[in-house]
Amino acid sequence: MENSPAPARPISGPAGFAAVPLRAALGLVALVVIWGLSIPLTKLALAETGPLTLTALRYVTAVPCFALVFVGRRSPSAGALVRMAGLGALGIGIGQVSQALGVQRANASVATIISALIPLLVVVFAALRLRQPVRPVHVLGLLLAIVGVALVASGGPEATPGVGLVGEALVLASAVTIALSYVMLAELAAAHGAAVVSAWSSLAGALLLLPPAAWELSAAPRWPGPVGIAVVVYLGALVSAAGLWIWLYLLRVLPARIAAGSQYFQPLVGIGASALLFGDTLGMAFVIGSALVLGGVVMTTLPTRR
């Protein structure tokens, strides 16, 4: 993935999608699948190991994926490195750890729905910080998607013993911090490139997580088994490394409302995977909510100007 991608041929489609380059469109689809599976697979791995250990191993796996970035480029300035480390601490040390702790305590489908707020929050933070324009129809589309997300949640599995507000609150807190870190990382990516920013922020997050992971293992030794190791590789290489790289690239070549709006497909992937992995049953509310989510996606990807 280049730091300054050449213009790609736009794909044809409805208004808003017509201006999306083919390379970016493929990136959107890949990201929906990669990130959509992350929470159900995290829930699966947490049956074998603790949340701090899982998150630390995830980023220890992700860092080597950026080896060429560290070897083949000059290091950013000290000030830029401090910012990248700080955002790595925010998005990984707080955001991803909160997500793992929340997923451990919440239903996988419910956690997936709450995490679907991340692209919505990205739009809000981008509009405030990056000064990207948002039309009333975009706001309406986002609200429609939120209603759809709520309906999908109501059409998910019934509450199970031990699943409470604590886990859901942790997942919500992670959504806020992750979205904020993504928008701020996008600013750095414009100056230093998505690969450099992803590499250094991931390295900072991995180093920050090693001590608490060691403490967790000493208190309750639970190393991941074969399934957990496979999930760690998936989360580290695809979700954290390739996924973050693709996401920062998309935020550079597309308006935040288009990049974020497409990610409302994530809960559909996540809930479908949860149904297969954990036997979650889905009702008519899920079908109606899914339609509203897709309608909201179309509205949020309408052009900024008529």
What pLDDT is stored for residue 156 in this prediction?
A: 53
**Do residues 150 and 289 lie in contact, with contact meaning Cβ atoms separated by under 8 Å?**
yes
Residue 17 domain flag? no
What pLDDT is stored for residue 13 in this prediction?
A: 41
Residue 14 domain flag? no
What are the two backbone dihedrals, phi and then psi, of residue 228, each rounded to the nearest 5 degrees? -60, -40
Residue 50 domain flag? yes
Residue 115 domain flag? yes
Distance CA 267, CA 295 (A): 14
| Number of domains present in the structure of the chain | 1
What pLDDT is stored for residue 157 in this prediction?
A: 53
- Tell me the pLDDT of the chain averaged across its residues: 80
Residue 94 domain flag? yes
Residue 16 domain flag? no
Distance CA 38, CA 247 (A): 15
What pLDDT is stored for residue 282 in this prediction?
A: 65
What pLDDT is stored for residue 38 in this prediction?
A: 92
Residue 2 domain flag? no
**Mean pLDDT for back-to-back runs of 10 residues, the chain (306 residues):** 37 46 85 91 93 94 84 82 91 93 84 78 77 77 80 58 69 90 84 83 92 92 92 93 82 76 77 82 74 74 58
Q: Enter the pTM of the model.
A: 0.76
Q: Please report, for residues 48, 101, 152, 199, 294, the alpha-carbon distance to residue 244 in angstroms, rounded to integers and kept in the order given.
A: 25, 21, 26, 10, 23
Domain span including residue 226: 22-300
Distance CA 84, CA 196 (A): 9
Distance CA 2, CA 19 (A): 20
Residue 204 domain flag? yes
Q: Which residue has the tokens 């996540």?
A: 270
What pLDDT is stored for residue 4 in this prediction?
A: 35
What are the two backbone dihedrals, phi and then psi, of residue 17, each rounded to the nearest 5 degrees? -85, -20
What pLDDT is stored for residue 12 in this prediction?
A: 38
What pLDDT is stored for residue 95 in this prediction?
A: 94
Write the pLDDT tens digit of every residue in 177-202. Answer: 998 998 888 888 888 887 788 888 98
